[in-house]
Amino acid sequence: MHSTILIMKIYTKSGDKGTTALLGGTRVPKNHIRIETYGTIDELNSYMGYIACAVLETKSQETIKLIQDRLFTIGSHLATDPSKTNVKVPDLFEHDIILLETEMDRLNETLPELKFFILPGGNKDAAFTHIARCVCRRAERLINELHQHEPVEELILKYVNRLSDYLFMMARWIAQEQNSEEIKWMPRA
């Protein structure tokens, strides 16, 4: 059962001096690693919205919607002051990671064997999916950096790592579905 969240106003003016509140009430600078981390997850979620619009296949649209939900879950964990144990946030589960792996396997069944490195591109939708993959990798690096200072749930680290792999597969799949040729990287000799 989902609880209802009531948002009164978008603007609060409480961040005008360069700080923002974590879930739990603690105020931190807006450039705090925790804020940068969940902000990057939010950026990734926006790219996922674009990808959902680009993909016409129902199964992938459903998967992307679930991923967006999980990114909100991850964002809520990252936005919570870890010292405030009374804050309730949604859970991430091992089966969320298994879903990504299962979907990668499904997408891979239709793809040609990867025998070379590919350059991001092929078409606009595949290129945007590669951008999302890069944002996901940045989020992963930031989460790992945050984890060096404050504990981050292991499943979050694992999920974001697997998600970047999923996005690579999705970019390849989109290129194929839209009849675009993958661009082989041909290093100069």
Domain 29-80+88-181: assigned CATH number: 1.20.1200.10
Rounded Cα distance, 157 and 162, in Å: 9
Q: pLDDT value at position 84?
A: 72
Region 19-37 average pLDDT = 74
Distances (CA, A) of 135 to 48, 51, 82: 11, 13, 24
Q: Are 102 and 170 in contact (CB under 8 A)?
A: no
pLDDT of residue 2: 59
pLDDT for residue 25: 66
Binning pLDDT at 50, 70 and 90, where does residue 188 land? Answer: confident
User: What average pLDDT does the chain have?
Assistant: 88
Compute φ and ψ for 148, nearest 5 degrees.
-70, -20
pLDDT digits (tens, 9 = 90+) for 91-143: 999 999 999 999 999 999 999 999 889 999 999 999 999 999 999 999 999 99
Residue 73 has pLDDT above 80, yes or no: yes
**pLDDT band at 5, cuts 50/70/90?**
low
pLDDT of residue 109: 95
Q: pLDDT-derived band of residue 89, with 50, 70 and 90 as boundaries?
A: confident
